[in-house]
Every structure is written in C-alpha cells, then in structure tokens.
Amino acid sequence: MTPTTCGAKEACKVAVKKAFEEHLNNEEVTNCEVICQPSKLSATYERLLYEKHEPNINTYKLRFRKDLTSLKNKQTDFAVDLLTGKITVEEFSGLDESQLISKTRQKQDAELLDKELKSKITMNMPDTINSIKNNSTFVSEKWGVSESAAKIDQEFDTES
C-alpha cells in the first residue's frame, strides 16, 4: 500500500464519519434509535470500498465521491438509514450508481420514462403517403409519381 493510498483511505474515513455526524442532528434521527456509530460505519464502509476497488485507486476515489455526495444529500436518506440500521453498509456499498439518487428522483425518472415510452408507442401513423418523410423532404406527389406515365414512356401512343 502506497502512502497515497493510505492518505486516501484515511481521508475517506474522516469524510464519511463527518457526513454521518452532520445527520445526527437531524430530527428524523433523533426520533429514531441510532444503532450504528458513525466511526464504525465509516470504517466498515471504507474497508468494503477498498476491497471492491483495490486494484485501481482512481475508481476507488471516483466511487467514494459519488457515495459521499449521496450520503450528504438529505433527500436520499442513506445516512439516516445507515445510522438507524434500516440498511447495512454492505447493501449501501453494493448499490449501483443509478440508485444513489433520492427516492423521489427515482420515482420522477421512472414516471418520465414511462410517459416517454407511452408517447412513442401511441405515435400516430401518417394518413397519406404525402405525410411520410423521405430523406428529410416530403414526397411531393401521391405514391412518388410526379409525372404522367405518358410523359415518361416515349413509346406511349397518345393519339389512339
């Protein structure tokens, strides 16, 4: 382990512990029983993060920043859930990056995706061939025929 790695690990523990301590003053935490202490949670979190990203310190740091942002965000409730024991550190560290956003944001994203999907499925088909786009231009004549068959065919007898 290099000195840079030791410094990053220690900084991770301190920052996560500080994020947990900020949430201890939250009304939601004071009404609930705090099961896990911030120092224990931060040490366990850092150990799990390091084990998962040990070969590459840059991915370790990147994931740490994302997790810390999520822990500090009061709308995600991850810090409160960890302190009260609703979720474990193992569950939190195993979350996908897309799951680190707040529950309301996840719900909004799902609703928007559903709405977009429904609008794509129920898209109206064109009524006429003239309303179909052809290479960024509209087909000008019905069925793509712009001139009469008599004008195109040189051998067409018009005087019969």
pLDDT at residue number 134: 56
3-state secondary structure the chain: CCHHHHHHHHHHHHHHHHHHHHHHCCHHHHHCCCCCCHHHHHHHHHHHHHHHHCCCHHHHHHHHHHHHHHHHCCCCCHHHHHHHCCCCHHHHHCCCHHHHCCHHHHHHHHHHHHHHHHHHHCCCCCCCHHHCEECCEECCCHHHCCCCHHHHCCCCCCCC
pLDDT at residue number 139: 45
pLDDT at residue number 138: 46
* Global model pTM greater than 0.85: no
Instruction: List the pLDDT tens digit at each of the 160 positions of the chain.
Output: 666 677 778 888 888 888 888 877 765 566 667 777 888 888 999 999 988 887 788 888 888 899 998 888 888 888 888 888 888 889 988 888 888 888 888 889 889 998 888 877 766 666 776 666 655 444 445 455 555 555 555 665 556 5
> Domain-by-domain residue ranges, the chain?
3-118
